[in-house]
Structure 1
Amino acid sequence: MRRPILLLIIIAISYSQSEIMSPDIIKGVMFPLLFSAALLILLIWLIRRSDRNRRGDGGSGDSGGGFFGGSKNNDRDLGDGGGDGGGD
């Protein structure tokens, strides 16, 4: 989660500092290039993340409450298997 936040900060700073019509090489060229590169990296990250989630949906999600996919507090009785319920 740190990567998209860092990219958004880089995008915001480079967008605010860029002046495309400026004759200065830093503000006229470097900041717009940094903005474009960070935006491209963010888009690639989002596409790869959504593609990974889509590929993983083929059975890795909800197990439907089966035997192995049950929750921690299942209602199995591991105590006395029958009998009279204990004695005095």
Structure 2
Amino acid sequence: MRRPILLLIIMAIAFSQSDILSPNILNGVLFPLLFSAALLVLLIWLIGRSRGNRRGDGGSGDAGGGYYYGGKSGDGGSGDAGGDGGGD
């Protein structure tokens, strides 16, 4: 969350200081280029973040808790606990 806020601050400062018609190289060239570069980095960050959320989502859900993907049925251990389950 720190990166987009920093980029927005850089963009605001660069936009406020830029003057394309100025003969000064700092205000006429560097600040508009800094604004454009920060905007490009922000867009790349947003695209990467949106693709990162879809990367592991094959329609299968999240195995974060392990409750559904643990191999047990969750009703007190009546799932597959190993062994053959039979007597002699």
Instruction: Give TM-score scaled by structure 1 length.
Output: 0.69
* C-alpha distance in structure 2 between counterparts of 1:67 and 1:4, whole Å: 35
Aligned-partner SS, 1:61: coil
Secondary structure of 1:31's counterpart equals helix
The sequence identity of aligned pairs, in percent, is: 66
Match for residue 66 of structure 1?
A: 68
The aligned runs of 1:50-65 (5 Å cut-off) are 50-58=50-58, 59=60, 61=62
Secondary structure of the corresponding residue to residue 53 of structure 2: helix
Does 2:45 match 1:45? yes
Post-superposition CA distance 1:25-62 (Å, at most 9, x none): 00000000000000000000000110111112123526
Distance 1:17 1:75 in 2: 65
CA spacing shift, 1:29–1:67, aligned 2, 3 Å: closer
Structure 1: where are the runs of 5+ without partners?
69-73, 77-88
Instruction: Give the root-mean-square deviation of aligned CA atoms.
Output: 2.5
* Rounded Cα–Cα distance in structure 2 between residues aligned with 1:55 and 1:39: 24
CA 16–75 in structure 1, closer or farther in 2 if over 3 Å, else same: farther
Q: Please report how far the alpha carbon of residue 66 of structure 1 lies from its aligned counterpart in structure 2 after TM superposition.
A: 2.2
Runs of 4+ in 1 over 3 A off after TM superposition: none
**Matches for 1:6-21 after TM superposition, within 5 Å:** 6-21=6-21
Measured in 2, the distance between the counterparts of 1:4 and 1:62 equals 29
Secondary structure class of the residue paired with 1:19: coil
Cα distance in 1, alignment partners of residues 20 and 61 from structure 2? 48
Letter aligned with residue 35 of structure 1: F
